Structure 1
Amino acid sequence: MNDLTSRALELQRVAHELMYLGVDGEPLYSDTFCRLNKDVLVQCDSLFPLRSTLPEEEANLCLALLLGYNATIYDYGDKEQKKQSVLDRSCEVLEQLPASLLKVRLLTYCYGEVYEDAMLREAHKIIAGWDRNSLSLEQAEIIEELRNIEENPYPYEVME
């Protein structure tokens, strides 16, 4: 595993930790919350300008950035532009990826941003090919995440 891949996977891990901080019933401390937010933002901003010519590596990088920018509360006025740039990159790399867990993960988080039905259909098509009796923990988690996004669209917008 090269440095870019390991950094992208580490950002995915820390962003996931931040998103689910306190969900396990453990106390939530403000200093931990602030430290994780800052760590995620610093990692995002250091990885944002980087690109890979390898589709799987670029997909992991895009996934990490989407997760990271969604997890952090900090925004210095450019977070939405950066997320849009990452979404554009994601669309390019999705076309190059084989049907895989990584592709479903990237499709899921992109769908959660743009709610494009084609992404949802493609994710479901790949998932339908998985053996339901022997799902990995990661497969089960992304199925649940996709279901969550489908059932709760636009969670941060005020609906009139």
Structure 2
Amino acid sequence: SPVYSDDLSRRNGEVYRLTTALYNSGVKGSTVEERANICLALLMGYNASFVDHGEKQKHVQKILDYCWDILETLPASLLKLRLLTACYGEVFDEPLADEGRAIIASWDSSSLTAEQMEAAEEFQNVVDNAYPWEYIED
């Protein structure tokens, strides 16, 4: 069914509000996987929202700074690929893409789960469209 602009704006504002509430609660978790999931949720929430009350970029940068430590200790996994994808979508740092490619290459392509296929497709989409809002002239 159609979503009207006022409803879209309300929903988007709610995503931003919830993401900011999670951010303000602090990145807590007893395991590196829990902290990675929280960072992933934060990056995805801020990325999905077009709302910004002036602190969004500062929050995203702090999350990214925290992610660098998490990525160093997080084992190669579906979660790590998702976090690499979210981080790469913010900074377009090629070593992140290389690590994502290595994770995908390590998977047995004949027995991929639906989640692995979706994550690999999302990763490739972000890598292929690194600058979706800019025109790059050759």
Fold agreement, TM-score > 0.5: yes
**Structure 2 alignment gaps of length 5 or more:** none
1:108 aligns with 2:108: no
1:51 is matched with which residue? 27
What RMSD in Å do the two structures reach over aligned CA positions? Answer: 1.5
**Residues in 1 aligned to 2:108 and 2:61: alpha-carbon distance in whole angstroms:** 34
Q: Distance in 2 between matches of 1:141 and 1:31?
A: 31
Please say if residues 27 and 39 of structure 2, whose CA atoms lie closer than 8 Å, have aligned partners that are also in contact: no
Distance 1:102 1:56 in 2: 8
Equivalent in the alignment of 2:42 = 65
- Indicate yes or no: 2:99 matched with 1:118: no
How big is each residue's C-alpha offset from its partner over 1:83-118, in whole Å with a ceiling of 9 and x where there is no partner? Answer: 111111111111111111000000011111111111
Report the TM-score when normalising by structure 1: 0.78
Q: Could you tell me whether the CA contact under 8 Å between 2:23 and 2:42 is conserved in 1? A: yes
Q: Distance in 2 between matches of 1:57 and 1:31?
A: 35
User: Structure 1: 5+ residue runs without aligned partners?
Assistant: 1-25
Matches within 5 A, 1:61-140: 61-140=38-117
Residues 37-92 of structure 1: CA distance to partner in whole angstroms, max 9, x if unpaired? 12211111111131224211110111011111111110011111111111111111
Equivalent residue number for residue 153 of structure 1: 130
* Amino acid paired to 2:46: Y
Q: Distance in 1 between matches of 2:60 and 2:47?
A: 9
Match of 1:32 in 2: 7
What amino acid is the match of 2:27?
A: R
Identity of aligned residues (%): 47
SS in 2 for 1:95: helix
Structure 1 stretches of 4+ with a deviation exceeding 6 A read none
Secondary structure of the corresponding residue to residue 73 of structure 2: coil
Aligned length: 135
